[in-house]
Chain A
């Protein structure tokens, strides 16, 4: 079979770092080829080279057997290479069609011929089974639909080779399933797909071949059918990985967090959390399972003080913290790994070391009489970086924004765990992270449990809940619909409770 793209012996150097080291990537026509690697393995650099954003230091690129020099993205487009970015580049208040034709507007008497464009969009959408309304506005359609608009954008430009950059990071399980079907349909119509991901499940489901990169180096290309997930993971990480978290018996102690009849309003002033009761004890992990949007965010906001509780009480170590300011809750013994690490977790423009002390900057040893103590701050940062293996370009001085998502999350975990509080509220701790980082973070959470901390884990990923929790609480429409022991339950039962069709309160 002919190759659609061959990237041969690509090396790319950045000052102080070799991002790609003699990497070869050969993609057969009409296949889904996966590019697998941890964050920082060099996937994005390789794709940026293919897309003309960077020039390789050495190596050659062939498209359909012909050697090419891709010096800017327009050449890539002319060659039929299209990229569906992880973060969509769409204009919210424009329609689907307007977004698609942006830059390529068909003209009729000098006016944009929207009708003609919309027909073409509809045609393409039907051909590939995308089911997109050409006249819908982007702000009104779901994230999954928006991704399809991105795909249509490429198809509209006659792309033959489609690159998907982490396409499932933002999708729900159903949407992921549909996307896989769309990919298969594209292959059938003669397109070639390059899928960049670190999710093994998806590779297994949709890809034909898989090229693995690790730390910028080419590890190998494998036939997906003949390789299992564990093997792929090991190629990617470079060592054996365990998907299941090693964890011993749990020994719950005194209640640390007690939530009694809590009611919280959402931004629309409607009750999002309704008379909720939940207790988390020392030395246990309570997983809060549920579909996104069932009151988890509001609950966590009320616990941490970002939102006001409208009724009920929250006790931390027996003290009423229901209306306490954030600062006092933190000081009393609450740590919080927030759901949105960019919005709440980090000041992205701060150096790493400053993010480490963002809670305790105004206490000794980091400051005295209102004056910061740089030495203490540096030492503390070095300590955390070493203990938690936070990797970054310039160590503690790195501007957090330039760090990888995994390392940003590690930094937050490091900060929150090291504060050695009694309660750790962890929300979506591994979203968007690769296998290695997930493994690491899970291990640290279990360690904290074993040290006797009470841990409330909020996650939309059932696997994570099942892996980590000792007890599982299920939230549906702002109410606890299930409270079960991990060992006594399974995915099915939880699914029913998450949908609100089963109630079970046995692990009180």
Chain B
């Protein structure tokens, strides 16, 4: 029996989602070409309706800018998922990461380059701590990590706001954030040629992707994490430390989110934030991990896709297409991937060779060729 590659399913979902968007734009009396123009412009900086204007790299860099935290939170969710855990606590880990980075940026005096790295390490540590708690409770008390994670999201927000207001210098002009972080801690724009805030923080996403891929695919640690995720009992039976794996996996997952939160503080906000709500990057991570089939390559592409839809929001509105279209496309893709059974069914139907339908769980026969 042939297994359908989950990335193929995601790809089909993406295509259907986009086709649906074009269809919807058309039937609501708008020009589908505008939608295409907006998407292409967000992706390449080229305006097909004003070809003389040439390519504007700002749009491309903005796309990349959005993708960096999204890839990281996607990796976070995917990492936990590989160990059979659902990390819905990304928001909280994101916030503690951002706050930890602000503390190191404002309270520690370090030379440039080292300073942002120190901030990111602190953020990873803070995120890891925030992942440690649900991991610990899950491993030794069997408490559902989802419930704990959701509660910790709010705890993170309020505790971090309290610490920031209490311990960091608050900006007197607005009283709603800290003063700006010192220049040494700021993640500089990769190029000042455009107004895009795309900064050197993108290296963290690349490092994250490599670390994820390496741990999961190449190391004995990743091997035991995957075994734990697939079958906890068999892993225990094989002498693996299941509890330790659960905790470590949540910590690493949390660290990814923590770094994502820090990148925004160091590269875009450039001040310590007082959070009024969630940024939803942690939740975006869930969709990205799902669509990316929880592996490094998939998360990268899913992250690029969802960030494109996010960065296209402005261009869509410029071309008078409601930015909700972008959200709709995302929603359709997520639904389709979630109900991938439907896609598999269609794939089976159109494949004239006739793959086995997955009606019967006992699909043993035919395995022994």
Contact = CB atoms under 8 A, between A and B. Distances in A.
6 contacts: A19-B365, A344-B233, A346-B231, A347-B226, A349-B230, A362-B220
Interface of B: 1-3, 218-221, 223-224, 226-227, 230-231, 233-241, 353-357, 359-369
Q: Which 9 A-B pairs have the closest CB atoms?
A: A327-B239, A40-B368, A344-B237, A362-B220, A391-B368, A349-B230, A404-B364, A358-B238, A326-B239
A53 B368 contact: no
B357 A53 contact: yes
Interface stretch (A90-98, A251-259, A367-375): A367-375
A91 B240 CA distance: 34
Given A326-B237, A347-B235, A392 B219 contact: no
A279 interface: no
Given A53-B359, A371-B219, A358 B368 contact: no
A349 B369 CA distance: 20
B355 A404 contact: no
A86 B362 contact: yes
Contacts of B221: 370
Contacts of A330: 238-239
A359 interface: yes
A402 B239 contact: no
Given A44-B365, A361-B223, 5 more contacts: A347-B234, A367-B219, A367-B220, A372-B219, A391-B367
A354 interface: yes
A342 B109 CA distance: 56
Interface in A18-65: 19, 39-45, 48, 53-55
Nearest to A326: B239
B210 to A, nearest CB: 14
Contacts of B353: 15
A359 B218 contact: no
Interface of A is mostly: loop
A220 interface: no
A494 B244 CA distance: 45
Contacts of A361: 220, 223-224
A392 B364 CA distance: 10
Contacts of A43: 365
Contacts of A407: 367-368
A24 B362 CA distance: 23
Contacts of A329: 239
Interface of A: 14-17, 19, 39-45, 48, 53-55, 86-87, 304, 306, 325-327, 329-331, 336, 338, 343-350, 354, 358-359, 361-362, 366-367, 370-372, 391-393, 398-399, 402-405, 407
B365 A358 contact: no
Nearest to B241: A327
Contacts of A86: 362
Given A14-B356, A330-B239, A347 B227 contact: yes
B220 to A, nearest CB: 4
Nearest to A41: B365
Interface centre among B234, B240, B354, B362 (most CB of A within 10 A): B234
A371 B220 contact: yes
B345 to A, nearest CB: 13
Nearest to B2: A15
Contacts of A359: 238-239
A43 B367 CA distance: 13
Contacts of B355: 14-15
A358 B227 contact: yes
Contacts of A55: 354
A222 B361 CA distance: 31
Contact of B367 (A40, A54, A327, A331): A40
A306 B237 contact: yes
Q: Of residues B235, B362, B365, which shows the largest number of chain A Cβ atoms within 10 Å of its Cβ? A: B365
Contact of A45 (B223, B224, B361, B366): B366
A40 B365 contact: yes
B355 to A, nearest CB: 7
Nearest to A407: B368
Among B219, B231, B359, B368, max chain A CB count under 10 A is at: B368
Given A358-B238, A370-B221, A372-B223, A392 B366 contact: no
Given A398-B367, A402-B1, A350 B239 contact: no
A135 B234 CA distance: 38
Contacts of B359: 48, 53
Given A354-B223, A367-B220, A404 B368 contact: yes
B367 A42 contact: no
B369 A403 contact: no
B85 to A, nearest CB: 16
